[in-house]
């Protein structure tokens, strides 16, 4: 039941120095070489009419083993408009909120997720009240 | 315009209908269609005995609020029990176990955006590599 992810980054920022990065990983349970065995599947949410922070992935609503350490989260802004983005945050609305960064049109992210408690809920905030869509998946223990 | 592209291929056969994700993005400055223009890259090693450290790539720069940056980080350790704990200021993002990588947008707004790393468990040593792609910084007056 393998879950694998590969990234390729290429850039001509420095024309005289070719730049590329390639990396692959197999998602294992924490501290082992046993495959992750659970996932939320690929999900999608569409926002319209608001620009407030909302919880996208709720620790308590996701059947993760808290702090097990092997979880991974994929999020992508499926829009094509580079002027509109989703800010992505860690934490719930009543605690300290840390901004990770902004996913503009077509931008994606893949990161580990500790998912200890509600302080690590993943929240998003659309930059526009126009229709915006995000897709996401959690791969977990 | 400089063109930087990040492509993801993810597949999983956990479900009876396999998951296959292909995503590609041209990385732009915040809110515009102009490419990022600055690359910082390198490698380092952190040991459990080093404790918790702000990574050399983890210091928010003078980039300022609401600018675009992307960070790639990979744990090059080979012992599957070794991991790099990653904090965004004082909130734990998660753990990169041996061979794991992550790719995230990074706000770099202020010191509360610092990225802190720590090798675990006891006795662990984790080599790592990073690439930070961002908007150009404002040139400073000479001293």
Mean pLDDT, range B30-41, rounded to an integer: 93
The reply to whether residue A98 touches residue B89, judged by beta carbons under 8 angstroms, is yes
Q: Please, which residues bridge with residue B122 across strands?
A: none
Q: A63-67, A72-76, A97-101, B36-40: which range is least confident on average?
A: A63-67
Q: Taking a C-beta distance cutoff of 8 angstroms, is the pair B126, B76 a contact?
A: yes
**Average pLDDT of chain B?**
92
- Which residues 71-130 in chain B show a CB within 8 A of chain A? 72, 74, 80-81, 83, 86, 88-97, 99-109, 112-113
* Residue of B37, B61, B46, B38 whose CA lies nearest to B111: B61
* Of B67 and B69, more confident: B69
Name the DSSP class of A117: S
Q: How confident is the model at residue B112 (pLDDT cuts 50, 70, 90)?
A: confident
Q: What is the pTM of this model?
A: 0.95
pLDDT of residue A127: 95
Rounded CA separation B10/A71 (Å): 15
Distance CA A74, CA B47 (A): 28
- Chain B nearest-CA distance from A53, in A, is 16
| Alpha-carbon gap, residue A129 to A33, rounded angstroms | 44
pLDDT of residue A34: 94
**Higher pLDDT pick, A95 / B132:** B132
Of B140 and B120, the one with more pLDDT: B120
Confidence of residue A50 (pLDDT cuts 50, 70, 90): confident
The CA angle A52-B110-A116, to the nearest 5 degrees, is 60
Q: Residue B93, class by beta-carbon neighbours within 10 Å (0-12 exposed, 13-18 middle, 19+ buried)?
A: buried
Kindly list the structural domains of chain A, giving each domain's residue range(s) and its CATH number in brackets, ordered by start: 38-140 (2.60.120.1380)
Q: Which CATH architecture has domain B37-134?
A: Sandwich (2.60)
How would DSSP label each residue in B17-85? S-EEEEEEEE-BSTTSS-B--EEEEEEEEEEGGG-SEE-TT-S--TT-TT--EEEEEEE---STT-EEE
pLDDT tens, residue by residue, A22-37:
999 999 999 999 999 9
The dihedral over CA atoms of A10, A14, A17, A22, expressed in degrees to the nearest 10, equals: -20
Please judge whether A90 and B33 are an interchain contact, meaning their C-beta atoms are less than 8 angstroms apart.
no
Residue whose tokens read 């992505």: A88
- Start-to-end CA distance of chain A, whole Å, equals 12
The reported pLDDT for the residue numbered A117 is 72
């Amino acid at each position: 039941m393998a879950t694998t992810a590969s990234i390729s980054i290429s850039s001509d920022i420095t024309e005289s120095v070719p730049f590329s990065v390639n990396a692959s990983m197999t998602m294992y349970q924490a501290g082992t070489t046993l495959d992750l065995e659970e996932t939320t599947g690929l999900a999608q949410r569409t926002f319209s009419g608001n620009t407030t922070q909302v919880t996208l992935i709720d620790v308590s609503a996701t059947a993760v083993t808290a702090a097990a350490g092997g979880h991974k989260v994929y999020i992508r802004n499926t829009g094509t408009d580079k002027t509109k983005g989703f800010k992505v945050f860690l934490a719930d609305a009543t605690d300290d909120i840390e901004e990770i960064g902004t996913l503009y049109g077509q931008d994606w992210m893949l990161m580990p997720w500790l998912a200890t408690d509600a302080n690590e809920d993943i929240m998003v905030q659309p930059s526009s009240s126009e229709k915006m869509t995000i897709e996401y998946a959690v791969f977990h223990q | 315009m400089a063109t930087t592209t990040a492509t993801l291929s993810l597949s999983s056969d956990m479900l009876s209908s396999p998951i296959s994700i292909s995503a590609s993005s041209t990385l732009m400055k915040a809110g515009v269609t102009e490419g990022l223009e600055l690359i910082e890259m390198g490698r380092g090693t952190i040991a459990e005995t080093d404790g918790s450290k702000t990574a050399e790539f983890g210091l928010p720069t003078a980039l300022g609020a609401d600018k675009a940056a992307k960070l790639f980080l990979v744990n090059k350790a080979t012992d599957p029990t070794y991991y790099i704990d990653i904090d965004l200021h004082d909130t734990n993002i998660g753990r990169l176990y041996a061979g794991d990588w992550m790719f995230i947008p990074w706000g770099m707004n202020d010191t509360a955006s610092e990225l802190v790393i720590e090798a675990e468990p006891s006795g662990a040593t984790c080599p790592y590599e990073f690439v930070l792609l961002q908007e150009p910084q404002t040139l400073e007056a000479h001293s």
